[in-house]
Structure 1
């Protein structure tokens, strides 16, 4: 039996009332609930993403559903750090000694 990682997609589900937020558990894993702004961050499997989004949108207590934009964001910045940013002598001194200057 081998462990397999499932691809997940984040959804932001805006609700009219938070009392219905527990019903979203059958569609995926609830990661966060905002009481002030009345939304739920929900993670679902990407295999059946379109079906689940349609089901969630059809619920009477759901105002709006948005897909998370995190997969489209670039998260590796190590390549560009040396290209766009040059350390000054003062910065090199600060990082070499580990103390703050200023």
Structure 2
């Protein structure tokens, strides 16, 4: 399960590695993308929210976005000679 954690201090955000798998840390926008085990997510998030450098925790909906596309419109490039 993916989560986006907004932080105040990026250096302190490296400590989040002990709670799960840190995928990305944005230094400019001050957020961390990390993955947690679904079974332990609630109790881990409770511990993460207690940290002084954490502003907000959001769940990532990336795995729910449709990634398989269908080609409903015919290819128009053959008419233009490409």
RMSD of aligned residue pairs (Cα, Å): 1.8
Runs (5+) with no aligned partner, structure 2: none
Larger relative helix fraction: 1
* Distance across 1 between alignment mates of 2:62 and 2:79: 36
1:66 aligns with 58
Which structure has the bigger radius of gyration?
1
Which structure 1 residue ranges, 4+ long, deviate > 3 Å from structure 2?
Answer: none
Equivalenced residues, count = 82
Higher RCO (CA < 8 A, seq sep 6+): 2
Which string of whole-angstrom CA distances, capped at 9 and with x for unpartnered residues, describes residues 19-72 of structure 1?
A: 211210110111111110111111111111111112111111100111111122
Give the TM-score taking structure 1 as reference length.
0.71
Runs (5+) with no aligned partner, structure 1: 1-8, 95-99
Give the TM-score taking structure 2 as reference length.
0.86
